[in-house]
Chain A
Amino acid sequence: MVLLMLGLFGYLYLGSKAAENYIRENLTVQVFLDPNLSDSLISKYDGALKQEPYAASVVFISKERAAIEFSNELGQDFTGFLGFNPLMGSFQIKLKEGFNQPNQLKDIETQLTKWAGITEVNYPKAAYGNAQANIQRIGILFIGLSLIFGAIAVVLIHNTVRLNLYARRFTIKSMQLVGATPSFIIKPFLIRGLINGIWGWLIAVVLLWLIQRSLPIWIPEWENFFGELFNISLFGALLLVGLLISLISSLLSTRKFLNTRLDDLY
């Protein structure tokens, strides 16, 4: 149950990460140029932009090419209709990872607008900023909820083990009286804990798999963000977490139990 929740959170978190990366990778800064800018200055700017540390790629789109692309989109040649080409030439800059925080974008904008002949620097401010802030908030929420659920899991397993030990206190007392070592007494409880962990994991994985299969039916975009490989790492991590939680809490509660005097249990 807890693993399922953790898995779902992990799933959504990785999904939002993927969405965030998708937005980041596709983030383009458009730099619009004065129509009268000379070709030599354009090629100089092109070279300079490519030297900038934040530029992953720089593509120059001349106003003629922009017109052709725009005409294709419109389905008719608007330059003939208007008699002139109102579009501006532009550089399309894709940013490197690590240069796409909102304040960095602002710095880039201020820097570039100082260059002569650059009329406008444009990027999807609102969409990008909001998306990022939301994703960060959701991420923190996921981590917080995961921690809470993890703690609940530990408490639940802890109680289960304690009840289990309590029910078998006479057998355990007998074991202690004949001189069984604590590790001998604890072993079966740890093995049971491990088996429980594996069962919980199996159930969680099956449910997660079903959820992942059925989600694209409601949210088609979902599929863009998830490959098959992603399942394996998430499921592996879940197994590890499940085993660790059950093992550690079994160990802690058995040890605590064995250290308390048995007379106190009656």
Chain B
Amino acid sequence: MSQGESIIKYHEVSLFQQNNLVLSEVNLSILPGEFVYLIGSTGSGKSTLLKSMYAEIPVERGEANIAGYNLKSLKKSNIPFLRRKIGIVFQDFQLLFDRDVEDNLDFVLTATGWNNLLDKNHRILEVLNLVGLSTKLHKMPNELSGGEQQRLVIARALLNKPALILADEPTGNLDPSTSDEILNLLHQISREGTSVLMATHDYRILEKFPAKVIKCNDGFVEVV
């Protein structure tokens, strides 16, 4: 596969948080369907790197392309459309606890321009089937187990058929067997053609589900 088809392509990128250089000379390429772990100690710049990918912080130096969008020349008005190509599984991107599973998903579809009720219902059932939650349509999030909640978060990330899933510690609060469940799901998604970039601290997972690993260390990103 040629470099031009990479979902993520960073070339000599430097990233800043409030004028402080966090990462420099980042060179990174992730192909469609590739599964990549992102490791590094706390504060090493993992979150900054992920944030740059969904345009929460700007790329000022170097060349960065995500799913066909050039991040350096990305207009503010195009940020929402970039984000629709990315499924985000983040700790601070919580479920809405005041509504049930279906409405949590419906909310995302409505916010991203889905108008047809039948299309929406169809897509909701599709993603719930993918993550094995099709029987929980009308459960409230607090009635779901931790693993089920995380699967719902992944289902939500899949709604707009993203080219890339960014996952930040998706197994952080889960027991090992539930973690394995989530990892199986993410690997399955990547085998179906969606790239997955997953930040984690859990070295047990790296051994059990081996894949490409990149590491944030001392302000640089290196392939391990």
Contact = CB atoms under 8 A, between A and B. Distances in A.
A175 interface: yes
Interface in B94-122: 94, 96, 107-108, 111-113
Contacts of B80: 176, 179-182
A199 interface: no
A222 interface: no
Interface in A172-186: 173-182, 184-185
A174 B105 CA distance: 12
A177 B112 contact: no
Contact of B90 (A177, A181, A185): A177
A178 B83 contact: yes
Nearest to A261: B56
The contact size tier of chain A is 10 to 19
Contacts of A181: 77, 80, 113
A176 B56 CA distance: 10
Nearest to B81: A179
Contacts of B79: 179
A177 to B, nearest CB: 5
Contact of A179 (B90, B156, B160): B160
Contact of A171 (B56, B86, B96): B96
B10 interface: no
Interface residues of B, number: 24
A178 B83 CA distance: 6
Nearest to A175: B111
A184 B111 contact: yes
B96 A179 contact: no
Interface in B127-181: 156, 159-160
A177 B81 contact: no
A40 B96 CA distance: 97
A171 B82 CA distance: 19
A179 B93 contact: no
Contact of B84 (A170, A174, A179): A179
A214 B44 CA distance: 72
Contact of A174 (B56, B96, B159): B96
Contacts of A178: 83-84, 88, 108, 111-112, 156, 159-160
5 contacts: A178-B111, A179-B82, A179-B86, A180-B80, A261-B56
